[in-house]
Amino acid sequence: MAFISFVQEYFWGFLLATRLTLLLTAVSLALAVVIGLVFAFLKISKNPIANLVAAGYIGITRGMPLIVQLMFLYFGISKLVVLSSFWAGTLALAFHAGGYVAEILRGAIQNIDKGQTEAARSLGMSRRKTMALIVLPQAFRRAVPPLGNQFIIGLKDSTLVAFLGVPELFSKSMTAAAANYRPFETYLMSGTYYLVLVIIFTWLVSKLEKRLSPDRQEATS
């Protein structure tokens, strides 16, 4: 009974914090896809300087702990422009995830059969139009599984912005645990929220992957 009353007391507060967690994750990963696409193009470019810039960015984001990047970018951004903790945390998460997304998209783009590109160019399509209409749609379709995994990782990584003062789910959990002296129940409850979210997103990614799979595309064509 005590645990049921505990859940009733914190259910709506944690649910509101979960909404902020989802918003933070969605916005940061949407920005990460844009950043990742830019650096994926730089990585596959024939320009050696562009390759070096992309390799440096990807190396930093993948080689440096996320909490270090968050702190560095949060305080660095604050010196340049005044942002809320939400936007500072969102940009920091986007910067970090962008390196992983860049590699995902680079691999997907380079795995598209070059014969399709050559055929499109032989028909008079420009390089930019070929990339936009032929290569990218197929690349994004193939990138759905790893991008879905990155979304789930981003959801779990968002817990670290609690240390920047963003009142998301994990931050709410820490505040509640400090106030009620019941850390086991508090973190069990917040962990359950995260577990449910991961299960839902895993199911959604699986459904999207099946819907966009090459076999299904061929069967419906």
pLDDT at 218: 46
* Residue recorded with tokens 């968002």: 158
Print the domain residue range for 78: 2-220
Into how many domains does the chain fold?
A: 1
Instruction: With a cut of 70, say whether residue 174 has pLDDT above it.
Output: yes
Residue 219: pLDDT band (50, 70, 90) is very low
Lowest mean pLDDT among 6-10, 120-124, 140-144: 120-124
Cα 147 versus chain centre, distance: 8
pTM of the model: 0.88
- End-to-end CA gap in the chain: 57
Instruction: With a cut of 70, say whether residue 117 has pLDDT above it.
Output: yes
pLDDT at 85: 83
Give the CATH number, domain containing residue 62: 1.10.3720.10
Instruction: With a cut of 80, say whether residue 187 has pLDDT above it.
Output: yes
pLDDT at 114: 84
* Burial zone of 24 (CB within 10 Å; 0-12 exposed, 13-18 middle, 19+ buried): buried
pLDDT at 214: 57
